[in-house]
Amino acid sequence: MKLTLLAALLLAPLAALVNFQRLETVLLQSAKQWNRPRNERTTMDPAKQGVAMTETKPKTKPQSLTRFRIVTGGSPMTTKTMMISLVFLVLSTASALNAQDFSTYEGRRQWLLNSLKDVELKDRGKHDLPRACARLWSNPKDAVALEYITNILDHRSQSLFDFPGVALALGMFRDSFSPAQLAAIKADLERLAKPDKGGGASFLGHGTENHALMMWCSGYLFGQWFPDAKWANGMTSPQLMADMKERLRKTFRSVYQKGYTELLSTTYDVVMIGPVTILYKYAKDPEVRSMAEAYLLYKWSLAALNNFEGHIIAPYSRQNIQQDTEPKGLPAGSAVCNWLWWGWGPATQKVKADLFRVNETQYTVSVALLDVPLPNLLNRAAGRFLGPFQHLASASTFGTYGTGAPHMMMRKVYRHPLFAIGTGNFRWVPGGDYADHDAVSFNIVWSSADRFNYLECNHPYWYSDGEVPERHPDAWSKGSISPFQQTAHHENTAIVLYNIPDKDPWPSRPSPDKWAWRDGHAEKLLARGQFRYPKSVDETVEKGGWIFLREGKVYIAAKPLRNYCIQTNVTHKDMEGFNVVKSDFNRCGFVFEVGTETEFGSFSSFQERIMRNPVKVDWEKMTVSYTNSKKDVLEIQYQTGLPEVAENPVPEHWAKGGIKGLA
């Protein structure tokens, strides 16, 4: 798939047009750099990201990195060794015969869809319409699935989430429906072409970013497929299609210019990909298909560059559910889609068929049904076999029809074949009703087959009162960013710094329900910097004021800059797999450095090297300096009074206190 000139002209001017030839060059250079000694490699200058940060290069020649190599040869096998090897081979072969092959996208896709051939359709359309389509994929004459789809828009639980599922069914399986069934679907759609919510959710509103794309992509196709429809708003089908096309053009153009609020959301990114993919696959207008293609290339690029073995690298917004390779309840939907595209590294084989009968996975079912292959370049970019690279991005606030303010979230990501670090700095939106309270600002991710393979860091600003169980200082699964956290980051090293005032500077600025999460601390904010890490790491050592973690060949060093405690018995339902390091001061912070066995040899050698690295802190000036093991110097000074982002209208249902069951 190539980004067409037509798409570029339709969306121009695009300030951040994806240049795939340039991307390929960068990736190839990165791979070549990784195969050269460090003293011969070039290094990107660190971005300031809104905070003061400088880097000093080493004066002495750094040690070259050890290359990976395969060693052959060795002593002859003994009879005992041969017998053990033979038994192991037999057992491994038997296991392989019984195991599902998840090594390829097509293997995962076929298994996923086949597992749903007889799935029970008992839930609302939001969740079961894609599964009904999966039944039709196995049997296009499945009467149960056809009847379910035909009646869903007249169901008491009908919502705007139903429209992409109906569009998917009409696009893929229109010939399976009888004339009477098509007439019933058409009649329901005709009455739902209205701007208000009376008598069922319509497809002409706006709502959140994912709402808008679900409605407009579907609405365009409904006009195309039913050219003689009598739409409730009085439009003809050509008029409806023209209206939807213009809404989509404005929105897609804005995405290229300044990103979008729900950037890389673990919950909603995949929600947006499905409807646009349906539009790309079934729209007849080449201009509309080109716009959809451009949007998909942007989204796929973000997903690939911020993928680490299926895990989404921070920062990202709107986390409703934490990333988990063994979810006990609902999974993070966008991470499940990453499993379909690229697998979950060592955890790929963990997925069971039951996962795709659980809510939030239905969007990945849609992606599997549509089967639009990603460009090979992006599949390469998503993989772990490239050399280390670093990239920057930013995202906007929310605004209807792409009118949000740019650079609300400023991201920096470093990805190594064995680990990744994602950090960010934020321009604050004092109201923050839409996406501030559930964003994730920082994580370190590493290669592991464990259920959890990441460390996260935050200040529990939004959920300080703890009166609502899922909005609690220990409720990490909902995400949380703070206006009092700033970060400096270069490659494998990061500094996180907190400067928390006594009183909340923005009392009563959010909507009443969100203000209630923290109003009990309006006069005394919760003073705490904290990070959590999995209990399952292979090794944990506290020494010399540092906390050292090892998972496989990845070593992590974390230094709390003030006194701290490690809480190992957090009972919140999201925290059974984590320990939490808490430093309860208004001014506090952490230094992080990540290394590998290849660089440092043993874990103990890593510890000794880290403890020799200078750390300088001045709490009066709010400065921290750290010289890492590569002799790079990171400095950060907390910047007070960073520009706020002007508040803008929140989605309609937010202002009305929310609509039950909708995102």
Mean pLDDT for the stretch of residues 207-215:
95
- How does strand 419-426 pair with strand 409-415? antiparallel
> Residue 552: pLDDT above 80?
yes
For 258-310, the pLDDT digits (tens) are 999 999 999 999 999 999 999 999 999 999 999 999 999 999 999 999 999 99
The DSSP output letter for 52 is B
Query: Between vectors from CA 585 to CA 579 and to CA 586, what angle results, nearest 5°?
Result: 125
Return the higher-pLDDT residue of 177 and 427.
177
The DSSP output letter for 84 is H
Q: Backbone phi, then psi, for 591, in 5-degree steps?
A: -115, 135
pTM above 0.95, yes or no: no
Residue whose tokens read 């937010």: 654
The per-residue pLDDT for 641 is: 77
> Residue 43: pLDDT above 80?
no
Band of residue 98 on the pLDDT scale cut at 50, 70, 90: very low
The per-residue pLDDT for 267 is: 95
Residue whose tokens read 């949007």: 295
CATH number of 409-644: 2.70.98
SS3 state at 445: strand
Residues of the chain with CATH 2.70.98: 409-644
Band of residue 10 on the pLDDT scale cut at 50, 70, 90: very low
Measured CA to CA, the distance from residue 240 to residue 212 in angstroms comes to: 15
Band of residue 46 on the pLDDT scale cut at 50, 70, 90: very low
183 Rama class: left (phi>0) / alpha (psi -120 to 50) / beta? alpha
SS3 state at 255: helix
CA–chain centroid gap for 524, Å, is: 33
Measured CA to CA, the distance from residue 235 to residue 19 in angstroms comes to: 39
Mean pLDDT for the stretch of residues 82-110:
59
| DSSP per residue, 486-543 | EEEEETTEEEEEEE--SS-SSTT-S-HHHHTTTGGGSSS----EEEEEETT-SEEEEE
Are 605 and 596 in contact by the 8 Å Cβ rule? The answer is no
SS3 state at 395: strand
> Residue 35: pLDDT above 60?
no
> Residue 103: pLDDT above 80?
yes
The per-residue pLDDT for 76 is: 36
Query: Other CB atoms closer than 10 Å to residue 111's CB: what's the count?
Result: 16
Q: Backbone phi, then psi, for 184, in 5-degree steps?
A: -65, -45
Burial class (CB in 10 A: 0-12, 13-18, 19+), 36: middle
**Which residues lie across from 124 on neighbouring strands?**
none
For 216-241, the pLDDT digits (tens) are 999 999 999 999 999 999 999 999 99
Amino acid at 264: L
SS3 state at 567: strand
CA–chain centroid gap for 54, Å, is: 29
Enter the tokens of residue 363: 């969007």
Residues of the chain with CATH 1.50.10: 105-379
The per-residue pLDDT for 640 is: 87
The per-residue pLDDT for 75 is: 36
Return the higher-pLDDT residue of 86 and 116.
116
The DSSP output letter for 340 is H
> Residue 251: pLDDT above 70?
yes
Q: Where are the beta strands (DSSP E) in 399-464?
A: 409-415, 419-426, 443-446, 454-458
The structural architecture, per CATH, of the domain 105-379 is Alpha/alpha barrel (1.50)
